Amino acid sequence: MHEHSTFVSYHKALMELSHNSGFIRQQRHHKLSALTALCGRLLEVERVSVWYFPPERDRITCECLYDQRHEPKSRQQSVASYEEDLSPVSLYRSDHPSYFQAIVEERILAVNDARNDSRTASFNSDYLPSVGIHSMLDAPVFDGSRLSGVVCLEACHPREWTLPELSFAISIADTISLINTHEAWINSKRALDFISRFDTLTGLANIDSLKNRVIHLAEKIQRRKTGSLALIWVDVDRLKAINDGLGPQAGDSVIAEIGQRLKALRLEGKDLLARIGGDEFAILIRHHTQADVLNDTTDRILMAIGQPIRVAGQSLNISASLGICHLPEDCLEPQELLRGAEAAMYHAKNLGRARATVFDSAIQVSAQSRFALERELRAAISSDALDVFYQPIVDQSGEKMVCMEALVRWNHPQRGWLSPIEFLDIARGSDLMYALGECVLRRVCEDWAKADSAGIKLPIISVNLSAEQVLTIDLPDRIKEICAKQRMPVSALQFEVTEDSIQGDFNNLAGVLETLVNDGAKLAIDDFGTGYSSLARLKGLPFSHIKIDRSFINHLPDDENDCAITLSIIGLARGLGLSVVAEGVETEAHEQWLIEKGCDFLQGYLYSKPLPFPELMERYFSAELR
């Protein structure tokens, strides 16, 4: 009966302490001090301490110590005593292997004679006698499911630990475990809150924080019928080229540096600076939205970004395109402010980049059309609603089709047939190029399967690969997966890659292209002569064809410069062991000159315009169809 009442009194005292609002609000070290002091006083134990495992888990370190023999007489003394007790006392596993093994395996250690118990005898040399300890009771502390430390009760006289004392020590340890769990939750919540509101690379506010701030200020303007906002949308020009050429870490370094420069700028009315996308920032200006003030503001932004940035041993000259939209002058709704600033930024890019453009009604009409087309294109890609036309590539006779290039087309429900020039830029700006490329390849595979089921052997089909595809490591696996669904061999394909697409990380690029060739595909460099590829890169990549861009063919044979360039490309191809395809052959004069100079294959309207698959089959394989 005595043990029962003792048990109840112990746990009642613990509940009164742990559920006290003052205790709950205290910081961790004050909570540990209160718990160890309660334990020491109730159990009449001279010393109670809390120990934790550091990440190495090769020792335990004292976090908090209550020593009844040095108990302070006032709260001020208590804090001072606590700080003094935080000296880094550690016990190492290598010195006390039996004790550490017992903590891990037994978890609860009730030791009556610590100096002679095999689990604690190793402490005799430098710990137990010097402190005067005879008996120990250790209970485990957890952090989640992980053993994270112990609560240690140390008596300075021989002692038999009773069941209520064991239970109370465990309860103290469990309370500390709950504190650990709560702190982990608080830290996790803080981390999640940071991630949800801030950009991890730059530490700046993110798009959600920007939207919330704009909503708050717009509502305030609406209530007070006064005030103004201007949103400056900042898009770093050609960051993709930096990522492709120097690697994504270089791109991150550029973004981080620009973020710091924008943060350091003292701009009139600057309310919030946010990073709102991979290469995009936004600056919210409050009240100071007059034209002359914003002109000065945007000039300073462009100047700050335009200073050279040293990255990966190179000095980079960076520029940015800026779009500006006002509230309530240009719009009334927060979302319209963001869309208007973004639309103005795109307009600045279309005008040649490295400049600022203010939103107006003409931009609004253009933006609405662009955003609508982007939405419709995304839907067309996801539903495989794009079409593929095929343009033959012929030999020097002009009659035998040796290959056919797959060209994407879009039969828009309202606008009719759209050529790639009308929607590829939108796809590129909306990160849709990879999905668009897969959509085209699926259609090519379906058409090949139709021909194959009819017993018709098609020539090699040439498919364009975007930079977004070429620089993706798993592209070969994805291509094999798509082809396998229609039982089409990869060897039935040739892939065309533009010069600008081979400017990225060479090792990744070479690995992707070599895997495609090993899988059976052929490779061609498209639009050759318009990009910036080096000969070192060309000879190190497994291409078999060079396609001369149509811009050099248009004025043959009358333009001396075009003749010289075309001849040099043909000579380069011969030196590299590559065959040559001329695009844009439209006249017999083009054909005659190209054949005389040794061009291997020809493509253009002289032979055929791009054709829908049924029309191609009817024109070139009608006999086999019948």
What are the backbone angles phi and psi of residue 506, rounded to the nearest 5°? -65, -40
Query: Within its chain, how far is the Cα of 504 from the centroid?
Result: 18
Q: Count of domains in the chain? A: 3
* In-domain check, residue 156: yes
Regarding whether 406 and 337 lie in a shared domain, the answer is no
Supply the range of the domain harboring residue 270: 207-359
Regarding whether 146 and 83 lie in a shared domain, the answer is yes
* In-domain check, residue 39: yes
Q: What integer pLDDT is reported at residue 366 of this predicted model?
A: 65
Contact 477, 504 (CB under 8 A): no
CB atoms within 10 A of CB 185: 10
Q: What integer pLDDT is reported at residue 86 of this predicted model?
A: 44
CA R_g for the chain: 37
Strand-strand pairing, 522-528 and 493-498: parallel
Q: Which residues of the chain, if any, have pLDDT below 50?
A: 1, 73-86, 532
Choosing from 133, 164, 193, the residue where a domain stops is 193
Regarding whether 399 and 340 lie in a shared domain, the answer is no
Contact 621, 615 (CB under 8 A): no
Q: What integer pLDDT is reported at residue 1 of this predicted model?
A: 45
Q: What integer pLDDT is reported at residue 592 of this predicted model?
A: 94
Choosing from 193, 218, 247, the residue where a domain stops is 193
Choosing from 161, 193, 225, the residue where a domain stops is 193
Regarding whether 297 and 148 lie in a shared domain, the answer is no
Query: How far is residue 441's CA from residue 460's CA, in Å, rounded to a whole number?
Result: 13
* In-domain check, residue 368: no
Q: What is the pTM of this model?
A: 0.51
Contact 576, 524 (CB under 8 A): no
Regarding whether 257 and 165 lie in a shared domain, the answer is no
Regarding whether 256 and 185 lie in a shared domain, the answer is no
Tell me, what CATH number does 550's domain have?
3.20.20.450
Regarding whether 389 and 345 lie in a shared domain, the answer is no
Nearest to 497 by CA among 531, 473, 520: 531
Tell me, what CATH number does 247's domain have?
3.30.70.270
Regarding whether 617 and 589 lie in a shared domain, the answer is yes
Query: How far is residue 426's CA from residue 421's CA, in Å, rounded to a whole number?
Result: 9
Nearest to 542 by CA among 505, 570, 515: 515
Retrieve residue 465's tokens. 């690969």
Contact 283, 294 (CB under 8 A): no
Regarding whether 153 and 231 lie in a shared domain, the answer is no
Q: What integer pLDDT is reported at residue 214 of this predicted model?
A: 94
Query: How far is residue 213's CA from residue 194's CA, in Å, rounded to a whole number?
Result: 16
- Per-residue burial over 6-22, b = 16 or more CB atoms within 10 Å of its CB, e = otherwise: bbeebeeebeebbeeee
Regarding whether 241 and 187 lie in a shared domain, the answer is no
* In-domain check, residue 355: yes
* In-domain check, residue 391: yes
Query: How far is residue 519's CA from residue 583's CA, in Å, rounded to a whole number?
Result: 27
Regarding whether 314 and 453 lie in a shared domain, the answer is no
Contact 341, 324 (CB under 8 A): yes
Start-to-end CA span in the chain (Å): 104
* In-domain check, residue 404: yes
Contact 338, 371 (CB under 8 A): no
* In-domain check, residue 372: no
Tell me, what CATH number does 157's domain have?
3.30.450.40
Q: What integer pLDDT is reported at residue 437 of this predicted model?
A: 93
Regarding whether 234 and 167 lie in a shared domain, the answer is no
* 439, amino acid identity: C
* In-domain check, residue 239: yes
